[in-house]
Amino acid sequence: MKLIAVICCSAAILVGCGDSNVVATVGGKDITKAEFNSYLKFKRVPLEDKARVDRALDEYVKRAALTAAIEKTKLLDADLNQAELEEFRRQMLIGRYFEEHLKQSVDDDSVHKYYTNNAAQYESKSIHAAHILIRVDSKMSEAERQAKLSSAHQAYSRIQKGEDFSAVAKAFSEDTVSGQKGGDLGWLNEGAVDAEFSKKLFAMKQGEVSEPFLTPFGFHIVKMIEGPQVLKKSVESVQGEIRYQLRNQAKIDETERLLKSVKVVRKDK
């Protein structure tokens, strides 16, 4: 009760009299109508709701009075409080500015325009392939590696003589998953598999079978069953990715522009 009384005595409410631009005076400091209206906007209190406006003013005045009373006690470090307030102000301004700037600079039209101008980024080649894998690893001796290569050439020779690739894959391939399916790997996107494997495969013609070649997994014999097909991602499936990319770049560009507009001189050196 004593605290409420002190607050009430500290705040002289001047609504409707005296300076029409002042809504209250707290500890000798005027609270302007513009200042209070900004507070109402921040609190989302509509001006036409008089009851809520009155309650908001009561609360605003009480908190202003309480703040003034605390500052007089000297209990808190004023410089530290000011530094914290200033840092909060910076963070708030930076955050709100870029929120508004990015909302205006990166919209649906800019996303669709980027998608149209960079269509090739959202296209990929896909090939239906099969392979026979004869595994090797770094721990093998040269003799063991040569034996593996010999096995790969034996499988290739049987295919060249007209034996069905699927049957040879089931007999020779050490990739047990695809081997059970006659070496079938399904549809593979360019670049989604080992670089050497992808380079070899996507240079082949439909129906062609490669000679044995080495990758980190072992010796491969690959067959291009069908393709390539060009698959294009829809704008709906990549618009989130594009928007994120455009917003990041827009923020970098705007940050650089803003920093160049302010002269900075450091005097600590």
In a domain, 40, yes or no: yes
* Percent of residues, the chain, with pLDDT higher than 90: 78
- Look up the domain containing 65 and give its range: 2-75
Query: Is the pLDDT confidence value at 46 over 50?
Result: yes
Q: How far apart are CA 158 and CA 97, in angstroms?
A: 70
Q: How far apart are CA 115 and CA 246, in angstroms?
A: 11
In a domain, 168, yes or no: yes
Identify the band that residue 171 occupies on the pLDDT scale cut at 50, 70 and 90.
Answer: very high
CATH of the domain at 217: 3.10.50.40
In a domain, 48, yes or no: yes
The 3 state secondary structure assigned to 123-182 is EEEEEEEEEEEEECCCCCCHHHHHHHHHHHHHHHHHHHCCCCHHHHHHHHCCCHHHHCCC
Angle, CA 264 vertex, CA 260 and CA 266 arms, to 5°: 145
Task: Report CA 256 to chain centroid distance, whole Å.
Answer: 21
Task: Report CA 70 to chain centroid distance, whole Å.
Answer: 44
User: Does 135 lie in the same domain as 64?
Assistant: no
Tens digit of each residue's pLDDT (9 = 90 or more) over 91-111 = 999 999 999 999 999 999 999
Identify the band that residue 228 occupies on the pLDDT scale cut at 50, 70 and 90.
Answer: confident
Q: Are 24 and 14 in contact, with CB atoms under 8 Å apart? A: yes
User: Does 64 lie in the same domain as 151?
Assistant: no
In a domain, 240, yes or no: no
User: Does 221 lie in the same domain as 137?
Assistant: yes
DSSP-derived secondary structure letter, 209: B
Question: Across-strand partners of 221?
Answer: 132
Q: How far apart are CA 7 and CA 12, in angstroms?
A: 10
Q: pTM, whole model, 2 decimals?
A: 0.61
The amino acid at residue 188 is L
In a domain, 98, yes or no: no
